[in-house]
Copies of this chain bind each other. A is one copy, B any other.
Amino acid sequence: MFQIDLKSRKAIYEQVVDNFKELIIAGVLKPDEKVPSVRDMAKELTINPNTIQKAYRELENRGYFYSVSGLGSFVSVPAEAAGSSHRIKELKELFRSTVNELVFLGCSKEEILKLMEETGLSKGKVDEND
């Protein structure tokens, strides 16, 4: 599904969180879709189940997962994302500082606008969902 970098400064469970977020944001994982069980994920990534558990719990807190004991863990629907207004504020600030640093390091305006297009942003909202 994805890879974990054990040597990274980022905590393993955070990497798992971020990877799942990416997959959900990219639409690879759909709402109410089942994700691998804690144990399966642990086996696949060869890391401790507790670490996966922690990641799943975190994803639940951030509104990306919901877990049903005995059934499994599932992708949540984005509308229910908790505290997203606060998160948006954070992201905007991050956006600002990222662009500023890019410019500072000599990245041209054109290059950044090109990045913008690559995100699919200029194509309008996703037309086909299925």
Contact = CB atoms under 8 A, between A and B. Distances in A.
Interface in A72-103: 74, 76, 78-84, 86-88, 91-92, 94-103
A95 B105 contact: no
Nearest to A99: B119
A21 B101 contact: yes
A105 B83 contact: no
A116 B116 contact: yes
Counting every copy of the chain, the complex holds 4
Contacts of A88: 102, 105, 107
A26 B100 contact: yes
A122 interface: yes
Interface residues of A, number: 58
A12 to B, nearest CB: 7
B100 A25 contact: yes
Contact of A124 (B68, B80, B109, B127): B109
A2 interface: no
Interface in A105-130: 105-109, 112, 115-116, 118-119, 121-122, 124-127, 129-130
Contact of A98 (B68, B76, B91, B118): B91
A66 interface: yes
